[in-house]
Amino acid sequence: MDPQQRILLETAYRALENAGLPVEYLKGSDTSVFVGVYARDYDRRGYKDLPQMSKHHSTGTGEAVLSKRISVSALTQACLTLRAGESRVSIAAGVELLLHPDQAHDPAGRCYVFDERGSGYARGEGVGAVILKRLDHALADGDSVHAVIVNSALNQDGKTPGITLPSADSQAALMRHVYGAVGMNPADTLYVEAHGTGTQAGDAAEISSIARVFSEGKNRTRDLYVGLVKSNVGHLEAASGMAGLIKSIMILKKGLIPPNLDFVTPKPGLNLNGRNIQGPKRVSMNSFGYGGTNGHIVLESVEDSLSRIGHVKGDGHQPPPLAGRRQTRPAYAELASLSYTLGCRRSIFSWRRAVVASPSTNLTFVFTGQGAQWFGMGRQLLDSSACFRASIAASDEMLTTLGADWALDEELCRDEVQSRVGQSEVFQPVATTAIQIALTDLFAGVGIRPSFVVGHSSGEIAAAYASGALSHESAMKISYLRGVISAAAKHEKYVKGAMLAAGSGPEAIAPFVKEVNLAGAGSIRVACINSPESVTISGDEPAVDKLEQLLKEAGVFARKLKVDTAYHSHHMESISQRNILYGRVT
């Protein structure tokens, strides 16, 4: 397939997505398609090696096939089908790819439009597509409207001194016709997007025709601005009109006119100052073919178009600005709009993801226990967030008061070799409490607070803080003392403790646990049921190591946790009374 056709299909799809029209909407619809195409590089290369030419070459490169995938014509033809009621939707596009090194262009490789240096044009590449509907249909369908095409038309130069030489008279006649057919005054237009090839004959003819229609003999109150996208992207030939159209639409939407590149000294005879050519509500656009076909389009914003139509009808209809409509919408409407767009205005593919969301503050915070800590955690937030840093500093001051002989920020900034986040007396107050409290404070600082909390193991402490059940100071005191007592347990047991995460449910893991306990390698037990398919095992390290080996041999996920104490196991029995005593004291 010619890359022009492939990229054109992709671009047309993106345009449909932007318009909020799912592919399913188009199937069986009366959608018309018109495309401008000129370059035949890929097709011609195929004929240089006939024996190797694919049997699909004709269908993959021929312009006639575009009418079945997309079609060959112009924006004006698309507008005519909509006005005539032949179609409800129309796709207009243009494409230009240069796939052969032999290219003709300006000697300097630039489009010096209206500049004295210009003696030709530089070819460029591009693909563009727009989705068109009648304005009343678009509003009825709830579509997002970027701009309104007030009128468009085509004509022909007729006989000129040469087939590629333009006619300023024909160009001016076309512009007058486009404005006259809708009863508009060209003097009210503030901007014209010129065809602007940069050639000597082309620039002179176009400036002359623009001046006759928009400036000469007109009672203009402001200068006319003329722009040209070719100075930015080169001459896209069959796609040049689409480039100019999209630029013109963006000028209307943004209210800003970008400067023309490479314009230093005007070509002799253009007389720009004498013709009063220097954020408009209305713009005009030229697009001319080298064979004499001329096109002109008038665009305006949707707000101005609706106001103008209402004034003509005499019903006094003055629609509120689109921005104003958005500002008056309640906050929950934004989420509803997103849900509507994703559910009804996007194409349906084989895989979809659904998210249950609410604009209210019904959020649940889940706080982890030991085993999830790692060296360097929280380090970037210490550098980037003043709120996070202040919370850590407050926790550090509390720990110092309690008797900690280490600094919280220093522990977080240790390298991987020196890090002590695996030691119970450090990681409990540091990783599972201070950092999670700081994250809670960080979220609160931007207005995010939980309606529900749940904590796993030592994560219950930070969860209690987030719920308001514990103060910051009380949470840090409980966590610090729990870490000190837990550290004592590893010194009171003659067998080192360990913990392991297993990707198996409690019923499925039970035979493995029983086998290990009967083997005499030590004692282990299911310490936590994390989910129907995940448990945590705790107990004597030799037994944990044996279980890890058995599970991996059976193809079951198993990973030892970075802890030095066997929590939720018989290793905690020797210190349980001290935990109770500290609990009564605090």
pLDDT tens digits, 84-128 = 999 999 999 988 888 876 665 667 777 777 777 877 778 888 999
Given a cut of 50, whether residue 72 has pLDDT beyond it is no
- CATH classification at residue 558: 3.30.70.250
Given a cut of 50, whether residue 66 has pLDDT beyond it is no
Q: pLDDT digit string (tens) for 269-327?
A: 666 665 555 445 678 888 887 777 888 888 888 888 887 766 333 333 333 333 333 44
Angstrom distances, CA of residue 297 to CA of 233, 235, 240, 300, 322:
21, 19, 14, 10, 24
* Backbone torsions φ then ψ of 165, nearest 5 degrees: -90, 135
- C-beta separation of 539 from 509 below 8 A: no
Asked, for residue 350, whether it belongs to a domain, the answer is no
Angstrom distances, CA of residue 190 to CA of 248, 293, 390:
12, 25, 55
Given a cut of 80, whether residue 428 has pLDDT beyond it is no
Asked, for residue 544, whether it belongs to a domain, the answer is yes
pLDDT for res 462: 93
Residue 501 identity (one-letter amino acid)? A
Given a cut of 90, whether residue 470 has pLDDT beyond it is yes
pLDDT for res 272: 64
Starting at the edge strand found earlier in the chain, the sheet holding 282-288 runs 148-156, 293-300, 282-288, 191-193, 225-227
The answer to whether residues 498 and 468 belong to one domain is no
- The residue whose two tokens read 């509507």 is 340
- CATH classification at residue 452: 3.40.366.10
Q: How does the average pLDDT of the chain come out, rounded?
A: 80
The answer to whether residues 401 and 275 belong to one domain is no
The answer to whether residues 368 and 311 belong to one domain is no
What is the secondary structure of 435-494 as a DSSP string? HHHHHHHHHHHTT---SEEEE-TTHHHHHHHHHTSS-HHHHHHHHHHHHHHHHHHHHH-S
pTM beyond 0.85, yes or no: no
Asked, for residue 118, whether it belongs to a domain, the answer is yes
pLDDT for res 586: 46
The rounded distance, in Å, linking the Cα atoms of 505 and 510 is: 9
Given a cut of 60, whether residue 73 has pLDDT beyond it is no
The answer to whether residues 460 and 499 belong to one domain is no
* Backbone torsions φ then ψ of 239, nearest 5 degrees: -100, 0
Angstrom distances, CA of residue 75 to CA of 83, 149, 172, 236, 242:
13, 10, 20, 16, 8
Given a cut of 60, whether residue 393 has pLDDT beyond it is yes
The answer to which of 20-24, 257-261, 278-282, 449-453 has the lowest mean pLDDT is 278-282
The answer to whether residues 459 and 577 belong to one domain is no
The answer to whether residues 485 and 550 belong to one domain is no
Asked, for residue 97, whether it belongs to a domain, the answer is yes
Chain centroid to Cα 38, Å, comes to 32
The rounded distance, in Å, linking the Cα atoms of 379 and 38 is: 57
User: What integer is the mean pLDDT of 56-83?
Assistant: 60
Given a cut of 80, whether residue 162 has pLDDT beyond it is yes
The answer to whether residues 514 and 478 belong to one domain is no
pLDDT for res 388: 92
Domain span at residue 433 reads 359-492
- C-beta separation of 266 from 273 below 8 A: no
| End position of a domain, from candidates 465, 492, 519 | 492
The answer to whether residues 480 and 499 belong to one domain is no
The rounded distance, in Å, linking the Cα atoms of 312 and 318 is: 12
Under DSSP, is residue 100 helix (H, G, I), strand (E, B) or coil?
coil
| End position of a domain, from candidates 259, 292, 315 | 315
The rounded distance, in Å, linking the Cα atoms of 147 and 248 is: 9
The answer to whether residues 390 and 482 belong to one domain is yes
Under DSSP, is residue 297 helix (H, G, I), strand (E, B) or coil?
strand
Given a cut of 90, whether residue 439 has pLDDT beyond it is yes
Say which residue, 274 or 365, is predicted with more confidence: 365
* Backbone torsions φ then ψ of 435, nearest 5 degrees: -70, -40
Asked, for residue 103, whether it belongs to a domain, the answer is yes
Q: pLDDT digit string (tens) for 194-232?
A: 888 777 788 888 888 999 999 887 777 788 888 888 888
Q: What percent of the chain clears pLDDT 90, i.e. is strictly above it?
A: 27
The answer to whether residues 484 and 510 belong to one domain is no
The answer to whether residues 514 and 571 belong to one domain is yes
Asked, for residue 338, whether it belongs to a domain, the answer is no
Asked, for residue 89, whether it belongs to a domain, the answer is yes
| End position of a domain, from candidates 280, 315, 350 | 315
Asked, for residue 184, whether it belongs to a domain, the answer is yes
The answer to whether residues 220 and 273 belong to one domain is yes
State how many domains the chain has: 3
Given a cut of 50, whether residue 182 has pLDDT beyond it is yes
Q: How confident is the model at residue 151 (pLDDT cuts 50, 70, 90)?
A: very high
User: Which of 143-147, 156-160, 407-411 has the highest average model confidence (pLDDT)?
Assistant: 143-147
* Backbone torsions φ then ψ of 150, nearest 5 degrees: -70, -45
Say which residue, 355 or 547, is predicted with more confidence: 547
Q: pLDDT digit string (tens) for 518-564?
A: 998 899 999 988 888 899 999 999 999 999 999 999 989 999 987 77
pLDDT for res 461: 92
- CATH classification at residue 165: 3.40.47.10
